[in-house]
Homo-oligomer: A and B are copies of this chain.
Amino acid sequence: MNKDKVPRPERLSQLVGQPVEAIVTPALVVDLDAMERNLTRMAEFAKKHNVRLRPHAKTHKSAVIAKLQMQAGAVGMCVQTLAEAEALAQRGVTDIFITNQIVSPAKLLRAVAVAQLLTQTNGKLAITVDSALGVTRLAQAQVQAGGPRCVIDVLVEIDVGHNRCGVAPGEAALTLARQISLFDGLHFAGLHAYNGRTQHTRTAQGRRDAVSVAVQDAVYTRQLIEDAGIKVDLITGAGTGSFMLEAASGVYGELQPGSYLFMDVDYAKNERDAAQPNFEQALFVKTQVISVRPELAGGHAVCDAGHKSHAVESGLPLVHPLGAGMGDDYALEYFKSADEHGMLRAAGSATRLPALGQMLWLIPGHCDPTVHLHDFMIGVRGGLLHGTVERILRVDARGAVA
C-alpha cells in the first residue's frame, strides 16, 4: 500500500461480477434495472408528448449515465455548476445547458472554453442569465478568450414562483433579451422558467396551480419579447414533480427533470399525479448493523451509514424491508443520523431489533446531494437481493461545486 496505489477504486473494480453480498458497507448502490426503466419511461413520455428532454445531471454527475440518457433521446444535459459542465464535456457529452447564474469573470472564461470545446464537436453550450452584469461579463470573457470564436446560447431566467434567482416576468426579461442580442457571440435562446418549489409541493392540485402560474408568466414574457421583434426559441424548465404539467402546457418546449432516474424519500411523499409515469426507487445506501443495544429502554441498533453517506437535509432515510425479513412484527425506523452512524429502532408496533451484522438497504432522503457525497456508485443487475455487480459508475463531477 502506498499513496500512488490507493486501493479503493481498484477494490471496487474487483467487485464487478460479484454478488450483491460482496458489497462492503456503507456503499451507494444503483439498481440498474430500475434506473433503466425510469430512464426509458421518461424518454418515452417526452417522445409521446412531443417535448424535448434535457435531464439534469446534477442528480447523477456521471458522463456514462448522461450518455445513456442521450442515447434514449435526450437532446443534451442540464448542469448546475460550471465544474459539472467541464466534467461532462471532457467525457464526450456535447450539448450542455448551465441552468445557473455565473458572474465571476474567471469562471466565465472557463465557460467560454467549454463552449469552444463543445462547438468543435458540433455541440453547444447554453447558460442562463438574470442580470446585465452577467451578460456583459460573459461577452467580455469571449473577447478575452480571443473571440467570440463560437456562439453561446443565453437564456433569461425568469422567476415563476421559485423565489430564488431570475428576473421578474415581463419587462426585465425583455431588457436582458435586448442586451443579449447586441453581442455577436451570444444568441438569445429563450426563457429558463423553472420553479423548484413546485417539485416538492405535496398535492397534485398544488402543483397544477403552481405550473399554471409559471405558464402564464412565461407566455406573457414571451409575448412581450416577441412583440419587440426578438424571437423566443424555447421555454425550458420543469422537474420530476411537475414535468407532466409543463409538457401538457403546450408552452414549455423542453423538460429538465433529474431525480426521476433515482427517486428518493422526499419525492415519494408527493401525491401522485395521474399523468405521471411510475418511477421506481433505484438508488440505495447499503449499510450494516454494527451495534445492537437491546438492554436500553426501547432498544436500538446502530448502522454504519450516517450523513456522510446520505444527505439528510430533506429528511432521514427509510429502511427498505428488502431482504431483512421485515413484516408486521419487524420494521425499522432510522430515527437519528450522526456523521458515520445511523440510529435504528423498531417502528410502530414492531419490537424486533435487527441482528448484529445484518445488512440493510436505505432509501436516501434526497438523491442529488447523496450522490454528491460519493466518488462511485455501484451498479447492480438482477435486483438487490440476488443480483450481481455489473459496473462501477464514477461520480465524475463529485466535489465539482465550482
Contact = CB atoms under 8 A, between A and B. Distances in A.
Interface in A99-143: 100-104, 106-107, 113, 117, 130-131, 133
A174 to B, nearest CB: 15
Nearest to A375: B399
Contacts of A308: 368-369, 372, 401
Q: Which DSSP category, helix, strand, loop or mixed, fits chain A's interface?
A: loop
A274 interface: no
Contacts of A87: 6
Contact of A3 (B90, B107, B164): B90
A311 B292 CA distance: 28
A163 B345 CA distance: 13
Given A131-B291, A339-B369, A376-B399, 12 more contacts: A1-B89, A3-B63, A8-B400, A25-B402, A58-B340, A102-B290, A131-B356, A159-B293, A164-B291, A165-B291, A308-B401, A374-B401
A311 B370 CA distance: 12
Contact of A168 (B103, B165, B295): B295
A36 to B, nearest CB: 24
B25 A104 contact: yes
Interface residues of A, number: 78
A313 to B, nearest CB: 5
A402 B24 contact: yes
15 contacts: A6-B90, A25-B402, A80-B339, A80-B340, A81-B340, A100-B290, A103-B290, A104-B357, A131-B292, A159-B293, A164-B291, A164-B302, A165-B302, A309-B401, A373-B373
